[in-house]
Structure 1
Amino acid sequence: MTIRAWLAAVTVTLFTVGCGSNPKPQVALPAPPPPAPAEAPLAQQLPVDPILTLIAESRTHYDAGERELRMGHLERARAEFDRAVTVLLESPYGARTDARMREHFDRLVDRINAHEVTALAQGDGFSETRSEPASLDELLQIAMFAPPAGTRTWETVRADLASNEHDVDIPQNERVLSYVELFQGRLRDYIHSSLERGSQYLPMIFEVFEAEGLPLDLAFIPIIESGFKNNALSKASAKGPWQFMAPTAREVGLRFDWYVDERSDPEKSTIAAAKYLKTLSRMFDGDWHLVLAAYNGGLGRLQRAMKAAGTDDFWKLSASTRYLPKETREYVPMILAAMIVGRNPAQYGFEVAGLGPFSYEKVTVPDAIDLRRVAEWTGASIDEIRALNPELRRWTTPVKTQDFTLKVPVGTAEQFEARLAGASPAEFSALAWHTVKRGETLAAIAQRQRTRVSVADLAAANGLTTRSRLTAGQQLVIPNSPSTLLATRTERAAPAQVASRSIAGSAAVPTVARPPSPIVYQVKRGDTLSGIARLFDTTVDQIKSWNKLRTNAIVAGARLTIHSSRAQ
């Protein structure tokens, strides 16, 4: 009987007794049902395994360390890696008493050491940021298969140009419209991603070009040149969204050295492009088709072609293969097609989700600073910091450059400046300094570095040439070893004795701690045994002995076992 039924029965009974005229014999009330037995707590049902709990806690800290490391937050990563190890080392059970604990501890140390080796290779301040292939090289290959424009494309472009004004003359011919057709077909994904990427820069470009009195249609040149990728690099070594060659970049005032390449700075390169286009415009009396041809093929080449052909009409010049290279002949109609689609993407089936304007705050740093420090002090990721400062070629701002202006995410400048004010110089840079001794050469100093560095890079980092003579007492920038930026406790020996209290509460059984596991190093192109030996503080003979090598020859991709203390 339920409680509700029981209460109903009691109520009926009382009502009957109270209202009846004749006394009734008393009826025994039914007893309430016994309460349901309380469920035993889950903890009593399933005893907690303290070893698994410790391992889970250690893994949590290690995973957090990896996340921080991916963000470029070295101090936070080190703290989490330390906690992952400390949880095991300071547990009442020791780190090596249980097979599961030993396995986890050894794997943990190996993985942290692997991160350390990667940091040595990438975070020494000398490593260069990666470039992306420029789009023009590939687009010109695809252009060979551009389909003829269909009737629908002709009608769409005709209606578009009739209702939307352009400030560059766009002829409605097959050469231009075939690219519009290609952009809607085979190159649809490329054009779409370029337009989305460019949405954050176009407001700035429009503003610069308007201030210079340039046609706004020219803002769409980077769709073809680079896809609006700031680090786009062509086979000819043109770089940046506007694809400047190094000599031209210097002519228009862009900085280009070992630390900084302003061709990749979206704003500075846009200002330079505006000035350069304006100069070309004056040379060709505002004929933007010739300006575009000169921008791609070079001023001298175009002038020679015009003289040889006896015409200043680009379409006549490009009708023959005699005067201009194929790239320039195809470049101009391709740019004009990009102007058509870029001005009115919806008309051609492109739904572009704007990324918002390229925005940031500026801070001034008094000396070279590691970009990972900037990421950590602003709470941003290293990828965000590098995206805001694509002109920086290294993981650091330039040395010997006071008051360098750095871009940080909006809302973080104040906290960064507060951290900067309280930081010691040792916290700043990914680079270190070497005082030249009597008789030292660049080659000798480069050879002694634990991370491989070429004489050319060492010279360029210090504003020298490979033939520069050094003087005693001279200060040189050298690669820094970031090993101290990762876990500091992985080399601490695990307890050889089991703690006084065992897992089961019985007497502890002493065990001998085995040495930390070796690591496996994969040989990279350009590696030598002597270089690897310096990296791990060991000798060539030791590496040959561990790996049963008869000669010093190694090949890229080979795996070497390393037992040295640096690998532990």
Structure 2
Amino acid sequence: MPFKNSLAIALLCGTSVLAGCATGSGSRTAKVLPQPPVAVVAPPVVAAQPDPVTILIAQSDRHFATGHQELTLGHLDRARSEFDRSLDILLESAGGARVDARLREHFDRLVDRISVLEQGALAKGDGFTETKTEPASIDALLAIETFDTAKPALATAETVEADLETTTHDIPIPTNDRVLRYVELFQGRLREFLADGLARGAQYLPMIQATFRAEGLPLDLAYIPLIESAFKPSALSRAKARGVWQFMRGTALENGLKADWYLDERADAEKATLAAAKYLKTLHNTFEDWHLAMASYNGGPGRVKRALTRSRKDDFWQLSATTQFLPRETRDYVPMILAAVIIAKNPAQYGFDVIPMVATPSETVVAPAALDLRRVAEWAGVPVDDIQKLNPEFRRWTTPVKKGNYSIRVPQGTAERVREGLAASAPGQLNAMQWHTVKKGETLASIAKKLRVNRIDLAEANYLRVNSRVTTGGRLVIPRMPSSALLARASSADLERAAEATVEEVLAETAAVAQKTYRVRAGDTLSAIARKTGTTIAQLKNWNKMRGTELTIGDRLVVQRPRSSANTQQ
């Protein structure tokens, strides 16, 4: 506006001057047209240039995040590859990772984070770490105070009696106060527990009922695991009962299940169900009463027999009317099971809206030798937890050492990829186990002491007793945790090398040799040297007292330390 105003004033003044001159000369007045306004052109906007450092950090972070995810899934090879790439991106940048303060800070922080993750992965060792268990529901349920003095509501009794008139049961279901109290308890403060168990049980009940039908057992007994374990194969009680059916080890062995250092078939729902059918038949043949059979499933047949003898009773409800003959846990166990059966067979009647869990479809692959489940997961392209959930009988992250041709369940559609992985792998690439050849005069105790392993673990890993004699020249698998091969590198070549090496050779590499060095060559990076030597960048920086990552051709780097030093500096 100021520019336009001044232009208008100038034009007016100019017009006046011209008009005056024309009057003086007597000539015709000239017509002056206004000039168009001058356009104001804004200076060109210069696009901001992308910050190369920010781009590098973002690329590095993407690979780190992918590596972290792969590590969480149990895919060790892929995790290590992504971690290495996250560092290489920075090391391969113009000037290296130390030229820019932001790059330097990011690189150092990344090295620390990777080091922490790698050390955390050591907890799973070479496959010999025991897999996780979870508390058995029976412990918590039998500890709950049931308020014996409180009489169940009349409405509860009417609902249950009406339900029993229309719902078929194949074991006697009394509607006494003890059963009705648990019906109310499951509808009240134990509602969430029962709903969760019913949902999970949908995965197993068809199999259990089919087994019991084939074995001629009452189908109502299929709901015993609802109370014992909430249908959790990994459930472990305080008394060390395990699996969906909560077998004690001795009872499991008596009924055909296997349990050793590598596997525990109590956690295999199908095999344990066959064993449970056999055991329940035995108990019923002993007592000729399903309520007494159920009580002995909990308290043991010997205890129930003694209680019957002392009390001179032959009925569970009379026998359990007081705490004189049976412990409270066994007295409560039978009415608790019966109440659960009542609700489970007609959940909507009792206010339950159950959304059933669906079993993961699976297929079977046969492992010809000891096989690390993390290898299976990588070939199948699934998290290692998925493989473990399909095979809960494995106590370790490996199949048994001396039992070849062991079947492994894998997600449906992945078996062919796993078979291809097996076919393409040498025997030494299937696991990271280390072996010891027995020398003259050695015993299990001396070997365990020499190799710094637990003597009981050493014996059980080799299917021996603790006091067993060992034969000169024999080979023992050493349950060492962690394994530097699988976890520090986890490449196929390293697995093969680890399998071929004896434990003494592995120890000699870190104890007998003062230290091993590497001469830096043209094109070397710290990340590349770490890969070549089976170490980590953090270790190399630590051992060589490096503040940065710059390398000079011809320098010698310590790439392996004596065991005493390595343990304190890694």
TM-score by length of 2: 0.78
Contact 2:125 2:487 in 1 (8 A): no
Other-structure match for 2:270: 267
Identify if the C-alpha distance between structure 1 residues 38 and 227 changes in structure 2 by more than 3 Å, giving closer, same or farther.
farther
Question: Equivalents in 2 of 1:372, 1:536: separation in Å?
Answer: 29
Q: Which has the higher contact order (CA 8 A, sep 6+)?
A: 1
Aligned to 2:311: 309
Answering whether residue 377 of structure 2 is matched by residue 352 of structure 1, we say no
Deviation of residue 304 (structure 1)? 1.6
Structure-1 separation of matches of 2:111 and 2:345: 56
Aligned to 1:465: 465
Shift in CA distance, 50/212, structure 1 to aligned 2, threshold 3 Å = same
Q: One-letter code of the match for 1:152? A: A
Number of residue pairs matched? 480
Task: State how far apart, in whole Å, the 2-side matches of 1:342 and 1:493 are.
Answer: 71
Q: Cα offset for 1:291?
A: 1.0
Amino acid at match of 1:178: R
Counterpart position of 1:245: 248
> Shift in Å at residue 137 of structure 1?
1.2
8 Å contact 1:259–1:393 — kept in the other structure? yes
Alignment of 1:273-288 (within 5 A): 273-285=276-288, 287-288=289-290
Question: 1:49 — aligned with what?
Answer: 51
What are structure 2's unaligned runs of at least 5 residues? 1-35, 491-516, 526-537, 544-559
* Contact kept in structure 1, 2:146 and 2:181, CA below 8 Å: no
Matched, 1:113 2:138: no
8 Å contact kept, 1:89–1:495:
no
| Among 521, 541, 551, the residue aligned to 1:516 | 541
What is the CA-CA distance between 1:324 and the residue it aligns to? 1.1
AA aligned opposite 1:367: A
How far did 1:485 drift?
4.2
Q: How does 1:297-336 map to 2 (within 5 A)?
A: 297-336=299-338
* CA separation of 1:145 and 1:122: change in aligned 2, threshold 3 A: farther
User: Partner letter of residue 187 of structure 1?
Assistant: L
Q: CA deviation at 1:39?
A: 8.5
Offset at 1:447?
4.2
Structure 1: distance between partners of 2:49 and 2:442: 67
Question: Taking structure 1 as reference, are residues 145 and 114 closer, same or farther at Cα in structure 2, changes over 3 Å only?
Answer: farther
Query: Residues 435 and 267 (structure 1 numbering): CA distance in 2 closer, same or farther, change over 3 Å?
Result: same
Measured in 2, the distance between the counterparts of 1:325 and 1:308 equals 14
CA spacing shift, 1:75–1:318, aligned 2, 3 Å: same
* One-letter amino acid of the counterpart of residue 516, structure 1: K
Name 2:104's counterpart in structure 1.
Answer: 102
Q: CA deviation at 1:145?
A: 4.0
Conserved? CA contact 1:148–1:181, under 8 Å: no
In the alignment, which residue of structure 2 is the partner of 1:235? 238
CA contact 1:77–1:486 (8 Å) conserved in 2: no
Report the CA distance shift for 1:485/1:107 in structure 2 as closer, same or farther (over 3 A): farther
- SS of the equivalent of 2:143 reads helix
Q: Return the offset for 1:439.
A: 3.6
Residues 53 and 439 of structure 1, relative CA distance in 2, 3 Å threshold = farther
Amino acid at match of 2:208: I
Rounded to whole Å, the distance in 2 between the matches of 1:462 and 1:414 is 31
Q: 1:255 aligns with which of 253, 258, 270?
A: 258
Residue 89 of structure 2: SS of its match in structure 1? helix
CA contact (8 A) 1:430 1:482 kept: yes
Cα deviation for residue 430 of structure 1 reads 3.9
- Equivalent residue number for residue 412 of structure 2: 410
SS at match of 2:344: helix
CA distance, structure 1, for counterparts of residue 179 and residue 449 of structure 2: 56
Return closer, same or farther for 1:359/1:281 CA change in 2, 3 Å cut-off.
farther
Q: Which of 207, 210, 217 is residue 214 of structure 1 equivalent to?
A: 217
Q: CA deviation at 1:440?
A: 3.5
Runs of 4+ in 1 over 6 A off after TM superposition: 36-39, 491-497
5+ residue gaps, structure 1, are 1-30, 500-512, 519-534, 544-561
> What is the alpha-carbon distance in structure 2 between the residues aligned to residue 334 and residue 166 of structure 1?
16
- The reply on whether 1:399 has 2:401 as its aligned counterpart is yes
- Asked whether the equivalents of residues 94 and 495 of structure 1 are also in contact (C-alpha less than 8 Å), the reply is no
Q: Give the aligned partner of residue 61 of structure 1.
A: 63
**1:362 partner letter:** T
TM-superposed deviation, 1:134: 1.1
Deviation at 1:421, TM superposition (A): 0.7
**Structure 1 residue 70 displacement after superposition:** 0.9
**1:455-499 CA distance string (max 9 Å, x none):** 11111101122223333322111126444445769x9999999x9
Conserved in 1, the CA contact under 8 Å of 2:234 and 2:243?
Answer: yes
More helix per residue:
2
* Cα separation, 1, equivalents of 2:120 and 2:455: 22
How much does 1:314 deviate? 0.5
Alignment correspondent of 2:169: 166
1:149 to 144, 152, 165: 152
- Offset, 1:289: 0.6
CA distance in 2, matches of 1:284, 1:165: 24
* Structure 1 pair 49–218 and aligned structure 2 pair: CA distance change class (3 A): same
- The amino acid of 1:199's aligned partner reads A
Q: Following the alignment from structure 1 to structure 2, what is the Cα–Cα distance between the partners of residues 98 and 496?
A: 23
Distance in 2 separating the partners of 1:262 and 1:136: 20
- Distance apart, 1:448 and its partner CA: 5.2
Alignment pair present for 1:342 and 2:367 = no
Q: Secondary structure at the match of 1:302?
A: helix
CA deviations on 1:272-299 (whole Å, 9 max, x unpaired) are: 10111112222222x2111101111111
For residue 199 of structure 1, what is the aligned residue in structure 2?
A: 202
Name the aligned partner's letter for residue 187 of structure 2.
Answer: Q
**What's the CA shift string for 1:25-53, capped at 9, x where partnerless?**
xxxxxx9xx9x99985xxx5322221221
For 2:227, the equivalent position in structure 1 comes to 224
Q: Deviations over 1:125-170 (max 9, x none)?
A: 2211122111111111114447542233222212211111111110
Which of 189, 192, 195 is the equivalent residue of 1:186? 189
- Conserved 8 A contact 1:293-1:331: yes
2-structure distance, mates of 1:92, 1:53: 13
Aligned position for 2:476: 476
Change (3 A) 1:111 1:288: same
CA-atom RMSD in angstroms: 3.2
1:296 matched residue in structure 2:
298
**Structure with bigger gyration radius:** 2
Shift in alpha-carbon separation, 1:172–1:407, aligned structure 2, 3 A: same
What are the equivalent positions in structure 2 for 1:15-30 lying under 5 Å apart? none
SS in 1 for 2:295: helix
Residues 505-529 of structure 1 deviation map (CA, whole Å, 9 limit, x = unaligned): xxxxxxxx997369xxxxxxxxxxx
Tell me if the contact between 1:372 and 1:382 (Cα under 8 Å) persists in the aligned partners: yes
Superposition deviation, residue 124 in structure 1: 2.1
CA contact (8 A) 1:112 1:487 kept: no
